[in-house]
Amino acid sequence: MTLLDSTLAAIGPLDRAAMAAAQARQDLLTKPHGALGRLEAISVQVAGITGRALPHVSNKAVIVMAGDHGVVAEGVSAYPSAVTPQMVLNFLRGGAAINVLARHVGARVLVVDAGVASDIPVQPGLVVKKVAYGTANMRRGPAMTRAQAIQAVEAGIEALQAELAGGLDVVATGDMGIGNTTPSSAIVAAVTGLPVAQVTGRGTGIDGEGLQRKVAIIEDVLRANQPDPHDGLDLLAKVGGFEIGGIAGVILGAAAHRVPVVVDGFISTAAAIIAGLLAPQARDYMISGHKSVEIGHRAALEYLGLVPLVDLDLRLGEGTGAVLGISLVEAACKLLCEMATFDAAGVERRQV
C-alpha cells in the first residue's frame, strides 16, 4: 500500500460523541443560546475533528508549499519565475508577511520545495521534496505525469507527518509559486463547469490585456488536456502544480491524523478541491481561513461547501489568511473550554 493509499484509508468521520459533548457544554455557557455564532460551530467542529470534547490549540504551524509553473512562459504573470526562489529565501529569513503573521499567532513556519525551478540551499525551516524543476507548460500538454502527481501529494503528507513530531493542534496551508493562479483557475473551471472568464483573476496584478490573454490560455489548456473533473489525480496531473498537489497532501495528512486544517486562499482552495476529490470525507476537516479577492475563490468555496472566516480583501497567498484564521480557531476553542457555565458562575438561566 502506498503512502497515499494508507492516508486515504485512515480518513474517517468526525467524532459525533465529542461534537455532542462540545455542543452540550456550549448550551450551558454563560451566554444566550448561539450568541457566539460561528465561533461555537468552529469549536464543535474541532471537537469532532480531534475527538476531544474540550479541544485545545497551542501547537500551531503553517506549511508553505513552493513550486514553479511552465505555463509562465506564456505570459500569464506580472512576475518572472525567478521570484519564486527569491520569496522562498525571504520566508526562510523571516521577512515575509507570512512570517510576521505566524509570529503574531505563535505558529511555526515550514517551507517545502515541491518543485521550484532552481535549487535552494538546504537550511533550517526548508524541506526539499522536489518532484521536478517546475511543471511542464500545460498549454502544450499535461503539467506533470500521474506518477508525479502522486509524488507531489505524498510530499505534502510527509511534511504534515513530520510536523506531528513537534506537536500539532492545528495547521494552516500556504503556497508560493509564480503563475499558480493559472492552474488554480483551470482546476476550478474544470470541476464547476463555469466559463474560464468567471473564475480567472489578475493574480499578481496583470493588466486588462494580460487578463484576456490569461483567460484564452487557460481555455487552451483545458481543451488540450481534457482533465477528468471527477479524478483528483488526473486533474492535478493535467492542469495542476507541484505545490498544489503538496497542499492537497497536507490537507489529507491532517485529516488522516485528526488535525484541523485551515485552508488559505485561492490556490490552497484549489488544492482542497483535489483533496476532496481524493477523499470526500476530508472536507469535514477543512476550515476556510478567508475569502480572497481572486474571483475564482468564491466558486471554489461554494463547490466545497466552505464558508470563509473573514473577508479582508487579501490576495497574497503564502498562508496569510489561513494563519489569521488559526487565531479565530484558537479563540473558539478557548471560549468553549474556559467560559463558565451558568451553574458554576451562579448565573440564572433563561426561563423557558
Pick the catalytic residue from 318, 330, 338, 348. Answer: 318
Query: What CA–CA distance (Å, rounded) separates 334 from 328?
Result: 10
Q: How far apart are the C-alpha atoms of 256 and 160, rounded to whole Å?
A: 10
At 102 the three-state DSSP class reads helix
How far is Cα 241 from Cα 34, in angstroms, rounded to an integer?
41
Please name every residue paired with 60 in a beta bridge, in sequence order, or none if there are none. Answer: 107, 170
20's CB contacts (< 8 A; 6+ apart) are: none
Q: CA 206, CA 339: separation in Å to the nearest integer?
A: 48
Three-state secondary structure call for residue 194: coil
Q: What is the dihedral angle through the alpha carbons of 187, 188, 189, 194, rounded to the nearest 10 degrees?
A: 170
SS3 of 58, please? Answer: coil
Active site residue 74: no
What's the DSSP call for residue 87? H
User: Amino acid letter at 143?
Assistant: A
In the three-class reduction of DSSP (H, G, I as helix; E, B as strand; rest coil), residue 216 is classed as helix
Sheet containing strand 261-263, strands side by side? 126-128, 107-115, 60-67, 170-176, 261-263, 286-288
Residue type, 117: A
Please answer whether residues 337 and 329 qualify as being in contact, where contact means their C-beta atoms are separated by less than 8 angstroms: no
Which residues are marked as active site?
A: 318
